């Protein structure tokens, strides 16, 4: 594996790989790797011939009130994870390399960015789509691997790639959980032991909502009450939203049918955490996708 920091190096190395007939797999990240990131690297390794990981804590996607300065970082540890996952190139640009001048051009995806996390983070997705568009431009034609932990992000980035005809196939990968159900996140490192235990209420609430839908509940309001009711039992967890939306366009549904996304966000101590599941409802047949639990060795 080589670690590089310059845009022209990344461009050249990806062009070279494709010139040799290799398919490029790309995993954009903000680092502080856990098993969720590793699963994306493994998927890229399985589907592509040349794997590029970017590690960049993107200032543009943090509001001034958010946790940019305190975002956890461990470049040395992250490099070891990439090495072990068979990554070919780790791209770690400096902020000045990504944004050498004040940025006048941003990418905005309408509609999909308005609900869910867009409500409390109104500038977040423009920061994400702008940096991902830049990274896609640097890497060039590739498959790009994103985790469904950030379900709204996958939908937004996929739509951006389609609308702008970017030569990138956006691949959504399973949400990876801790053994006790907590969705893995770099931000879990902010939690003290009490908060860490309380945070499991998010996945417990999703399980309970899944059970209600499986038992025949089709009213989004009722599912919201199940989620909010259980989450309210944990005083350390302050609910931001609990919603049932169409899995395609992310708009609220009036009845639970077809494929829906059940998504929650909450503040726990210093951390803002998100979690979700996808539910496919076809008459009485209900399929729930809550993701996968990381094997212990991957934690």
Binding site for ligand AMP (CB under 6 A): 29-30, 36-37, 39-40, 146-147, 149-150, 175-176, 183-186
When the beta carbons of 14 and 57 are compared against ligand AMP, the nearer one is 57
Q: How far is the CB of 1 from ligand AMP (least distance, A)?
A: 18
CA–CA distance, 218 with 254 (Å, rounded to integer): 9
When the beta carbons of 225 and 269 are compared against ligand AMP, the nearer one is 269
The two most distant CA atoms of the chain are separated, in Å, by 57
Torsion from C-alpha of 145, 149, 153, 158, nearest 10 degrees: 40
Q: Tokens standing for 53?
A: 């990981």
Active site residue 37: yes
| Separation in Å, CA 6 to CA 59, 89, 160, 167, 173 | 18, 12, 25, 22, 28
Rg (CA), the chain: 19
Q: Tokens standing for 90?
A: 């780790």
When the beta carbons of 37 and 224 are compared against ligand AMP, the nearer one is 37
Q: How far is the CB of 129 from ligand AMP (least distance, A)?
A: 13
Q: How far is the CB of 125 from ligand AMP (least distance, A)?
A: 13
How many CA atoms does the CB half-sphere of 268 hold within 13 Å? 28
Q: Residue 37: what are its φ and ψ, rounded to 5°?
A: -65, -45
Q: How far is the CB of 14 from ligand AMP (least distance, A)?
A: 19
When the beta carbons of 28 and 220 are compared against ligand AMP, the nearer one is 28
SS3 assignment, position 264: strand
Exactly one of 34, 37, 124, 224 is catalytic; name it. 37
Catalytic residues: 37
């Amino acid at each position: 594996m080589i670690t590089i920091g310059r845009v022209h190096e990344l461009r050249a190395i990806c062009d070279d790989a494709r010139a040799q007939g290799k398919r490029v797999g790309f995993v954009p990240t903000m680092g502080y790797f856990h098993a969720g990131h590793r699963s994306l690297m493994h998927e890229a390794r399985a589907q592509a011939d040349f794997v590029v990981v970017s590690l960049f804590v993107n200032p543009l996607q943090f509001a001034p009130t958010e946790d940019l300065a305190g975002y956890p970082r461990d470049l040395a540890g992250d490099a070891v994870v990439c090495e072990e996952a068979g990554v070919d190139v780790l791209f770690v640009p400096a902020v000045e390399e990504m944004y050498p001048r004040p940025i006048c051009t941003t990418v905005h995806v309408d509609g999909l960015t308005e609900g869910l996390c867009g409500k409390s983070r109104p500038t977040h997705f423009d920061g994400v789509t702008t940096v991902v568009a830049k990274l896609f431009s640097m890497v060039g034609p590739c498959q790009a691997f994103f985790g469904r932990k950030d379900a709204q992000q996958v939908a937004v980035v996929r739509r951006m790639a389609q609308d702008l005809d970017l030569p990138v196939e956006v691949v959504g990968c399973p949400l990876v959980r801790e053994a006790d159900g907590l969705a893995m996140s770099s931000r879990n490192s902010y939690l003290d032991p009490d908060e860490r235990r309380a945070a499991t209420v998010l996945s417990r609430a999703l399980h309970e909502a899944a059970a209600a839908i499986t038992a025949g509940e089709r009213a989004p309001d009722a599912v919201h009450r199940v989620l909010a009711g259980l989450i309210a039992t944990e005083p350390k967890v302050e609910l931001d939203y609990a919603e049932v939306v169409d899995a395609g366009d992310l708009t609220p549904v009036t009845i639970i049918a077809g494929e829906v996304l059940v998504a929650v966000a909450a503040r726990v101590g210093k951390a803002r955490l998100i979690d979700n599941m996808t539910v496919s409802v076809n008459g009485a047949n209900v399929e729930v996708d809550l993701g996968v639990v990381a094997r212990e060795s991957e934690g």
